[in-house]
């Protein structure tokens, strides 16, 4: 049983049960021996503190969630460098308000007993604080201390004990083969790899550490059991293991696909679709007055006609790295971006602007979100829940865009976090585009906000 730090005047007498530690102060006047027990800590449907202990105190489930969040951020550091000051982890439990404590000491006492039992079962340590209740001193839990990462993994539950054990085993293998590598970064980045792929990763890194791949494509690397797509997906990990900035592999040229939207151009029977390779000297059939950058392929291919317009396939997060390299887009008088209403889409807008593309947006505001929220996506293409994205400091968003970004990246946000642009009618997009262009022409300003 884990220890509990009590005030000196609240040490339990010999042979007294641990369940009475929280009650060791003098009897509270008017206190009855019978009390209603708190919800069991493993009953998730009853974790809210609506009793007299007050809404500010925490339940074991809430502390377990905090431990889980801390593990998610720092488990790899604790494994790779146990001497770090990450553990023990001391978590405040809150304090029953004085009025609530006086009014319903029985429930506060049950809350304290609940924490004492939980600490005993989870190898944790409770810190106690003396409270004055109706003229008597009573010990109440103030903090719980989680001793180490092993105890934290057991408290977090789910896959955590196995995940920590797997991380330690992989750390030993990485240290043996690559003593100079950033071990913590590697075991975190490779955490999702199946064991077979992790073994392949170490073998590939050994090959690249001893051989030159200059002039080879990923498919041409002479490694048994590998294929080019696997190597492409894991190049960053291999570079981290070997300490090389570049593996020397030939890179495929980046291509950008676009569609001509001008109705006269189309009526003349000319090509509707083109592509260009970044770095080539190539011009479109006409210099566009309007360039619409679309996050997804279908919206770019089927966008309605726009006089002297071109729609460009941004391909999600690839856009900020490729599109600013195209001179005729940089020089276009009206550049508009339309993407998914989610954290990633708004980050793309910010990054395009950071790269020199002064793009305005359409249909990427809170009003549009509310109008099409019912069509939002709760899961991604692989059926996994759309996560709360880590919040970035996106300084180039307009106030309305930034407000929406803060909502979508709020961990407490319980509504859908993604509305895909394909769920919004293209006819409405064409109307908003026309309105945005008209505003830009009238005011001479760009980045007026999402239309």
pLDDT at 168 over 90: yes
Strand order in the sheet with 360-361: 273-277, 255-260, 309-313, 290-294, 334-338, 360-361
Percent of the chain with pLDDT over 70: 85
* Residue 290 vs residue 24, higher pLDDT: 290
Report CA torsion sign: 84, 85, 88, 93: negative
Give the pLDDT mean for 278-291.
Answer: 92
Rounded Cα–Cα distance for residues 61 and 46 (Å): 10
Give the pLDDT mean for 50-67.
Answer: 72
Run of H or E residues at 198? helix 195-210
pLDDT at 145 over 70: yes
The DSSP secondary structure of 142-189, one letter per residue, reads EEEEE-SHHHHHHHH-TTHHHHHHHHHHHHHHHHHH-TTS-HHHHHHH
pLDDT at 10 over 80: no
Which DSSP letter does residue 225 get?
A: T
227: confidence class by pLDDT, cuts 50, 70, 90:
confident
Give the pLDDT mean for 145-165.
Answer: 91
pLDDT of residue 447: 54
Q: What is the mean pLDDT of the chain?
A: 84
pLDDT at 11 over 50: no
pLDDT at 240 over 80: yes
Rounded Cα–Cα distance for residues 428 and 157 (Å): 48
Q: Which of 384, 383, 365 is nearest to 373 (CA)?
A: 365
pLDDT at 55 over 80: no
* Residue 213 vs residue 268, higher pLDDT: 268
Residue 355: burial class (beta carbons within 10 Å; 0-12, 13-18, 19+): middle
Q: What is the CA 159 to chain-centroid distance, rounded? A: 18
Rounded Cα–Cα distance for residues 272 and 368 (Å): 30
> Any alpha helices (H) in 278-421, and if so which ranges?
297-301, 319-322, 327-330, 343-354, 366-372, 399-408
User: pTM (2 decimals)?
Assistant: 0.57
pLDDT of residue 383: 87
pLDDT of residue 446: 62
270: confidence class by pLDDT, cuts 50, 70, 90:
very high
Give the pLDDT mean for 108-120.
Answer: 89
pLDDT of residue 263: 97
What size, in residues, is the chain? 451
Q: Which of 320, 296, 312 is nearest to 424 (CA)?
A: 296
Using alpha carbons, list the distances in angstroms from residue 257 to 86, 118, 238, 290, 291: 48, 59, 31, 16, 13
Rounded Cα–Cα distance for residues 59 and 406 (Å): 28
For the stretch 438-443, contacts whose Cβ atoms lie closer than 8 Å and that sit 24 or more positions apart, written own/partner, are: 440/334, 440/360, 441/334
pLDDT digits (tens, 9 = 90+) for 295-304: 999 999 999 9
87: confidence class by pLDDT, cuts 50, 70, 90:
confident
pLDDT at 373 over 60: yes
245: confidence class by pLDDT, cuts 50, 70, 90:
confident
List beta partners, residue 353: none
Give the pLDDT mean for 426-447.
Answer: 88
Rounded Cα–Cα distance for residues 432 and 170 (Å): 53
Rounded Cα–Cα distance for residues 397 and 318 (Å): 19
């Amino acid at each position: 049983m884990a220890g509990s730090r009590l005030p000196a005047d609240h040490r339990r007498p010999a042979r007294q049960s641990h369940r009475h530690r929280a009650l060791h102060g003098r009897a509270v006047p008017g206190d009855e021996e019978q009390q209603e027990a708190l919800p069991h800590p493993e009953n998730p449907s009853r974790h809210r503190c609506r009793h007299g202990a007050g809404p500010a105190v925490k339940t074991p489930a809430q502390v377990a969630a905090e431990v889980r969040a801390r593990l998610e951020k720092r488990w790899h550091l604790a494994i790779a460098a146990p001497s770090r000051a990450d553990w023990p982890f001391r978590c405040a439990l809150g304090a029953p308000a004085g009025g609530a404590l006086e009014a319903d000491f029985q429930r506060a006492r049950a809350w304290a007993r609940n924490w004492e039992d939980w600490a005993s079962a989870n190898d944790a340590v409770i810190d106690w604080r003396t409270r004055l209740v109706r003229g008597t001193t009573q010990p109440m839990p103030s903090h719980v201390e989680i001793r180490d990462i092993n105890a934290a993994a057991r408290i977090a539950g789910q896959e955590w004990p196995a995940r920590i054990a797997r991380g330690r085993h992989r750390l030993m293998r990485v240290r043996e083969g690559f003593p100079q590598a950033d071990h913590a970064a590697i075991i975190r980045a490779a955490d999702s790899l199946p064991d077979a792929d992790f073994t392949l990763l170490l073998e590939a890194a050994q090959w690249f550490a001893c051989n030159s791949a200059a002039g080879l494509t990923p498919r041409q690397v002479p490694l048994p059991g590998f294929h080019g797509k696997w190597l492409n997906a894991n190049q960053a990990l291999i570079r981290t293991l070997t300490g090389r900035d570049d593996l020397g592999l030939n890179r495929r040229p980046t291509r950008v696909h676009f569609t001509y939207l001008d109705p006269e151009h189309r009526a003349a029977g000319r090509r509707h679709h083109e592509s260009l390779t970044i770095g080539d000297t190539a011009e479109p059939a006409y210099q566009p007055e309007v360039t619409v950058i679309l996050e997804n392929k279908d919206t770019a291919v089927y966008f309605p006609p726009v006089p002297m317009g071109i729609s460009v396939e941004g391909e999600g997060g690839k856009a900020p790295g490729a599109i600013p390299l195209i001179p005729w887009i940089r020089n276009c008088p009206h550049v508009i971006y339309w993407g998914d209403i989610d954290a990633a889409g708004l980050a793309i807008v910010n990054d395009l602007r950071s790269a020199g593309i002064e793009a305005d947006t359409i249909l990427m505001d809170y009003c549009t979100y509310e109008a099409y929220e019912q069509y939002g996506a709760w899961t991604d293409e692989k059926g996994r829940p759309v996560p709360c994205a880590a919040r970035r400091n996106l300084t180039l968003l307009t106030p309305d865009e930034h407000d929406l970004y803060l909502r979508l990246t709020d961990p407490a946000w319980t509504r859908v976090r993604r509305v895909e642009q394909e769920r919004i009618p293209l006819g409405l997009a064409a109307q908003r585009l026309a309105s945005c262009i008209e505003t830009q022409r009238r005011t001479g300003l760009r980045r007026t906000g999402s239309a």
